[in-house]
Amino acid sequence: MVRRRDGRRSELPAYRRMMPFLMRGRNEAAVYFEQTLDVTAPLAWLATWNQAPGEARPKATIFHVVLHALAGVLHERPRLNRFAVGRQIYDRHGVFLSFAAKKAMHDEAPLATVKRRFAPGEDFAAMMRGLHDDVTDARSDRTRPIDREVDLLLRLPAPVLDLAVGLLRRLDGWGLAPAALTEHDPMYTSAFVANLGSVKLDAAFHHLYEHGNCPLFVTVGRVQPRPLVDDAGVVAVRPTLTLRYTFDERVEDGLYCAHSLELLRTRIEQLAGC
The pLDDT assigned to 109 comes to 73
Categorize the per-residue pLDDT at 78 as very low, low, confident or very high, splitting at 50, 70 and 90.
very high
Distance CA 169, CA 163 (A): 10
Question: Is the predicted pLDDT of residue 81 greater than 60, yes or no?
Answer: yes
Distance CA 245, CA 219 (A): 7
For range 42-60, the mean pLDDT: 89
Q: What are the distances in angstroms from CA 154 to CA 5, 19, 274?
A: 26, 35, 42
Distance CA 167, CA 165 (A): 5
Question: Is the predicted pLDDT of residue 55 greater than 80, yes or no?
Answer: no
Model pLDDT for residues 159-209, shown as the tens digit of each residue: 999 999 999 999 999 999 988 889 999 999 999 999 999 989 999 999 999
SS (H, E, C) the chain: CCCCCCEEECCCCHHHHHHHHHCCCCCCCEEEEEEEEECHHHHHHHHHHHHCCCCCCCCCCHHHHHHHHHHHHHHHCHHHCEEEECCEEEEECCEEEEEEEECCCCCCCCEEEEEEEECCCCCHHHHHHHHHHHHHHHHCCCCCHHHHHHHHHHCCCHHHHHHHHHHHHHHHHCCCCCHHHHCCCCCCCCEEEEEHHHHCCCCCCCCCCCCCCCCEEEEECCCEEEEEECCCCCEEEEEEEEEEEEEECCCCCHHHHHHHHHHHHHHHHCCCCC
* Percent with pLDDT over 70 in the chain: 98
Categorize the per-residue pLDDT at 152 as very low, low, confident or very high, splitting at 50, 70 and 90.
confident
Q: Which of 210, 124, 136 is nearest to 172 (CA)?
A: 210
* Higher pLDDT among residues 212 and 103, named by residue: 212
Q: What are the distances in angstroms from CA 230 to CA 63, 237, 262, 264, 268?
A: 24, 10, 17, 19, 17
Question: Is the predicted pLDDT of residue 1 greater than 60, yes or no?
Answer: no
The pLDDT assigned to 180 comes to 84
One-letter identity of residue 157: P
Categorize the per-residue pLDDT at 140 as very low, low, confident or very high, splitting at 50, 70 and 90.
confident
Question: Is the predicted pLDDT of residue 144 greater than 60, yes or no?
Answer: yes
Distance CA 265, CA 242 (A): 11
The pLDDT assigned to 228 comes to 93
Angle at 221 between CA 114 and CA 80, to 5 degrees: 60
Could you tell me the domains of the chain?
7-269 (3.30.559.10)
The pLDDT assigned to 2 comes to 64
Query: Rounded mean pLDDT of the chain?
Result: 92
Q: How far is CA 206 from the centre of its chain?
A: 12
Categorize the per-residue pLDDT at 274 as very low, low, confident or very high, splitting at 50, 70 and 90.
low
Distance CA 62, CA 193 (A): 13
pTM value is 0.93
Model pLDDT for residues 219-233, shown as the tens digit of each residue: 999 999 999 988 888
Model pLDDT for residues 28-39, shown as the tens digit of each residue: 999 999 999 999
The pLDDT assigned to 153 comes to 85
